[in-house]
Amino acid sequence: MFARLAVNLPAVSGMFDYAVSDELAGQVGVGCLVTAPFGNQTVQGVVMELPDAPSVAETRPLESLLDPVPVLTAPQIELAKWMSAHYLQPLAAVVGMMLPAGLSQQADVLYQLADGRPETEDRLPSPAHGQVANRLLKLLHERGPLRGRQIDRHFAKVDWRKSADWLVKRGVLRRQSILPPPRVRPKFVRVAQLAVTPAEAEAAMPSLGAKQTLARRQAALRFLVRAVDAVNVSWVYAESGCNLADLEILEERG
């Protein structure tokens, strides 16, 4: 079994074929979000197709399935392909725009001291890398392992990666490609629904509050009487002019 991915690297065009292991076969489907090796890093990708045969002689296996529920539907995938071709944009960039905020993550590099201790005299940076490398070593000693994007915030407009490369070659630093987990959290919507019969609601109308609040609470209750199901409270606010405090009072009164 094979999967054709749009990898989450916006500047990369086209799709890439991967082998699907027996463990993941039957779970991976079109539209699923997966992780896969790409060069020397791990990246996210969306399965765009499940071809019968790969377009290349050798394929690397997918690493994991992030969610068995597809993140894109078949119509969305077809739309993404059309937009990519019509507007001459990388497919990955178009797919990225369709994913919920926080779901799409890009690979980063984790840096840490090779032995977890400050530098010894025999491995101190050369003058060519001196100040930047020393700052980097000091930062990692004080803060522990950091991702590249975290280090960027400490080195504004400074190319610290050349010094990091030199330190890695010297065995002073270790680095590894990482892929942060998706940051999607459940979104909760507050809703309101009539808890009594319409007749009971109508009977309670005159006693819903003082003069300054009565009209809007009556309007809110009448809106809920007309509503068939639970509705977003923002609709109730818009229709009646009431607020959350008014709805809480109505709830207390049953």
The total number of structural domains that make up the chain: 3
Percent residues over pLDDT 70 in the chain: 87
**What range does the domain containing 200 cover?**
191-252
Domain C-terminal end among 76, 98, 120? 98
Q: What is the DSSP letter of 44?
A: E
Query: What's the pLDDT at 84?
Result: 92
Check pLDDT > 70 for residue 185: no
Pair (78, 8) in one structural domain: yes
Domain C-terminal end among 178, 211, 233? 178
Pair (162, 195) in one structural domain: no
Domain C-terminal end among 98, 122, 154? 98
Pair (80, 163) in one structural domain: no
Burial zone of 168 (CB within 10 Å; 0-12 exposed, 13-18 middle, 19+ buried): middle
Pair (92, 164) in one structural domain: no
**Residue range 95-143, pLDDT digits in tens:** 988 887 666 666 677 888 987 555 544 455 555 557 888 888 889 988 9
- Asked if 139 and 181 touch (Cβ cutoff 8 Å), the reply is no
Task: Give, rounded to a whole angstrom, the gap between the first and last alpha carbons of the chain.
Answer: 58
How much is the average pLDDT of 43-51?
91
